[in-house]
Amino acid sequence: MTTRTFYIESFGCQMNAHDSEKVIGTLISKGYTQVDTPEKAELVLYNTCSIRDKAEQKVFHRLQQFKRDAGKGKVFGVLGCVAQQEGEKIFDRAPHVSLVAGSASYSKLPQMLVQLESGNRRVTGLSLDTDETFDTPFTRRDNPHRAYMTIIEGCDKSCAYCVVPFTRGPERSRTSASVIAEASQLAANGYTEIQLLGQNVNSYRDPSPVGWDFATLLARVAEVPGIRRVRFTTSHPRDFVKGIVDAIDANSVLCDHVHLPVQSGSTRLLRLMDRLYTRDEYLRRIEWLKNARRDISITTDIIVGFPGETEQDFGETVSLLDQVEYDSIFGFKYSRRPNTAALAMGDQIPEEEKTRRLMIVQEKQRAIQIRRNSETIGSVQEVLVEGRNQALGQWIGRTSQNRTLNFVRSVADSEALIGTYLPVRVTRAGPNSLVGESMV
Ligand code: SAH
Ligand code: SF4
Ligand code: F3S
Same domain, 196 and 335: yes
Residue 133 has pLDDT above 80, yes or no: no
Same domain, 267 and 351: yes
DSSP codes joined into one string, 292-308: SSS--EEEEEEEE--TT
Average pLDDT score over the chain: 94
CATH number, domain of 205, equals: 3.80.30.20
Asked if residue 167 has its Cβ within 6 Å of ligand 3, the reply is: yes
- How many whole angstroms from 52 Cα to the centroid of ligand 1? 8
Please give the model's pTM, rounded to 2 decimal places. 0.96
Same domain, 57 and 159: no
Asked if residues 3 and 42 have their Cβ atoms less than 8 Å apart, the reply is yes
Minimal-distance CA residue to ligand 1 atom 24: 334
Mean pLDDT over 23-40 rounds to 94
DSSP codes joined into one string, 37-85: STTT-SEEEEEE--SSHHHHHHHHHHHHHTGGGBTTTBEEEEEHHHHHH
Task: For 294-336, write each residue's pLDDT tens digit.
Answer: 999 999 999 999 999 999 999 999 999 999 999 999 999 999 9
Asked if residues 365 and 326 have their Cβ atoms less than 8 Å apart, the reply is yes
Calpha distance 45→51 (Å, rounded): 19
Could you identify the atom of ligand 2 that is nearest to the CA of residue 199?
A: 6
Same domain, 366 and 397: no
| Confidence band, pLDDT 50/70/90 cuts, at residue 3 | low
Residue 270 has pLDDT above 90, yes or no: yes
Of 199, 269, 275, which is best to mutate to test ligand 2, by the most ligand atoms within 8 angstroms of its C-beta? 199
Predicted local confidence at residue 119, as pLDDT: 86
Q: Mention every residue, 6+ apart, whose C-beta is less than 8 A from residue 141.
A: 21, 147, 148, 191
- How many whole angstroms from 194 Cα to the centroid of ligand 3? 20
Same domain, 192 and 331: yes
- How many whole angstroms from 417 Cα to the centroid of ligand 3? 33
- Percent of the chain topping pLDDT 90: 88
- How many whole angstroms from 261 Cα to the centroid of ligand 1? 8
| Confidence band, pLDDT 50/70/90 cuts, at residue 132 | low
Question: Residue 103 carries which side chain, given as an amino acid letter?
Answer: S
Question: Residue 401 carries which side chain, given as an amino acid letter?
Answer: Q
Among 17-21, 40-44, 66-70, which stretch is predicted with the lowest mean pLDDT?
Answer: 66-70
- Of 281, 302, 191, nearest to 237 by C-alpha is 281
Residue 144 has pLDDT above 50, yes or no: yes
| Domain stops at, among 357, 374, 391 | 374
Same domain, 384 and 365: no
Torsion sign across C-alpha atoms 22, 27, 31, 34: negative
Listed in order, strand segments (DSSP E) in 308-369 are: 328-333
Same domain, 195 and 97: no
Asked if residue 154 has its Cβ within 6 Å of ligand 3, the reply is: no
Predicted local confidence at residue 136, as pLDDT: 76
**Could you give the C-alpha distances from 112 to 19, 117, 129, 349, in angstroms and in order?**
17, 9, 17, 43
Asked if residues 299 and 259 have their Cβ atoms less than 8 Å apart, the reply is yes
Same domain, 214 and 340: yes
The domain total for the chain is 3
Examine residue 140 and state whether it is found in any structural domain, yes or no: no
Residues β-bridged to residue 396? 387, 406
Asked if residue 262 has its Cβ within 6 Å of ligand 2, the reply is: no
Same domain, 362 and 417: no
Residues β-bridged to residue 402? none
Examine residue 65 and state whether it is found in any structural domain, yes or no: yes
Torsion sign across C-alpha atoms 364, 369, 370, 374: positive
Same domain, 113 and 214: no
Asked if residues 199 and 163 have their Cβ atoms less than 8 Å apart, the reply is no
274: left (phi over 0), alpha (psi -120 to 50) or beta: left
246 exposure class (CB count in 10 Å sphere: 0-12, 13-18, 19+): middle
Note the ligand closest to the C-alpha atom of 274: 2
Range of the domain at 119: 5-125
Residue 233 has pLDDT above 50, yes or no: yes
**Could you give the C-alpha distances from 37 to 72, 203, 289, 381, in angstroms and in order?**
16, 39, 44, 39
Task: For 98-122, write each residue's pLDDT tens digit.
Answer: 999 999 899 899 999 999 989 898 9
Note the ligand closest to the C-alpha atom of 49: 3
Asked if residues 187 and 140 have their Cβ atoms less than 8 Å apart, the reply is no
Examine residue 397 and state whether it is found in any structural domain, yes or no: yes
- How many whole angstroms from 396 Cα to the centroid of ligand 3? 28
**Could you give the C-alpha distances from 261 to 135, 144, 265, 289, in angstroms and in order?**
28, 29, 11, 14
Note the ligand closest to the C-alpha atom of 233: 1
| Confidence band, pLDDT 50/70/90 cuts, at residue 149 | very high
- How many whole angstroms from 177 Cα to the centroid of ligand 1? 30
- How many whole angstroms from 158 Cα to the centroid of ligand 2? 6
Asked if residues 11 and 38 have their Cβ atoms less than 8 Å apart, the reply is no
Asked if residue 233 has its Cβ within 6 Å of ligand 1, the reply is: no
Asked if residue 191 has its Cβ within 6 Å of ligand 1, the reply is: no
Residue 1 has pLDDT above 50, yes or no: no
Examine residue 212 and state whether it is found in any structural domain, yes or no: yes
